[in-house]
Amino acid sequence: MNNQRAALATALSISVLAGCGTPTISGSATTERPESPPVATSTSPTLPDVTFDPCTDIDDAILLRFGLEPAEREPDVLTLGRETLVTCGVPGDERSVSLVAQNTPWDDIPFQVTPQAITVNGREAWYVPGGTSDASCSVLMRTSFGAVIINSSPGLGRRPDPNMDRCDGALEMAEAIEPLIDDGT
């Protein structure tokens, strides 16, 4: 799971940094009166706090229902620039699942593949087969702070079932988790 988190952090870092460039400063400095360096000011609004922790807010019974091991949860908090990701890796026999709550603005979430707009229990969501890799399936649910993401990877289970489709159970897992997201939306 640590490798998955590192890959997710790397992918998000690249997408966050992709639009950043090195500023060009023109003009010349003299020895008599050097120019002051430009002062950078941020015009980006502060992002909301992530108010959902997938490792503590998701009941053991839900994880067990999907063949996951609640006792082996791997919590982590990643900060990428001004964005925060609260993550929880949960292994299982047939699949491994990464659960993420992030404050990346909904319209700014990058995708490697085109998402399908859906609703989960009436909540706006995206269904993304192949979301983080060809062998994974993601469901992203919109929240007041950003999104809660379920990323299922059947091939990373302890004893993967070769007949299991990458999206088997992902939507059902999202439907079970969605009522636990108390964010006012």
Specify the number of domains making up the chain: 1
Q: Within a domain: residue 116? A: yes
Instruction: Compute how many other C-beta atoms are within 10 angstroms of the C-beta atom of residue 147.
Output: 24
Q: Within a domain: residue 132? A: yes
Q: Within a domain: residue 65? A: yes
Can you give the pLDDT at residue 41? 45
Q: Within a domain: residue 3? A: no
Q: Within a domain: residue 127? A: yes
Residue 177: burial class (beta carbons within 10 Å; 0-12, 13-18, 19+): buried
Q: Within a domain: residue 40? A: no
pLDDT, the chain, mean: 81
For residues 68 and 54, give the distance between their C-alpha atoms in angstroms, rounded to a whole number: 14
Residue 179: burial class (beta carbons within 10 Å; 0-12, 13-18, 19+): exposed
Q: Which domain holds residue 140?
A: 50-180
Q: Within a domain: residue 87? A: yes
Instruction: Calculate mean pLDDT across residues 70-81.
Output: 96
What are 109-160's pLDDT values in tens digits? 999 899 999 999 999 999 999 988 888 999 999 999 999 999 999 989 898 8
pTM as predicted: 0.77
Token pair belonging to 163? 């007949």
Q: Within a domain: residue 171? A: yes
Q: Does 174 have pLDDT greater than 80?
A: yes
What are 84-111's pLDDT values in tens digits? 999 999 999 999 999 999 999 999 999 9
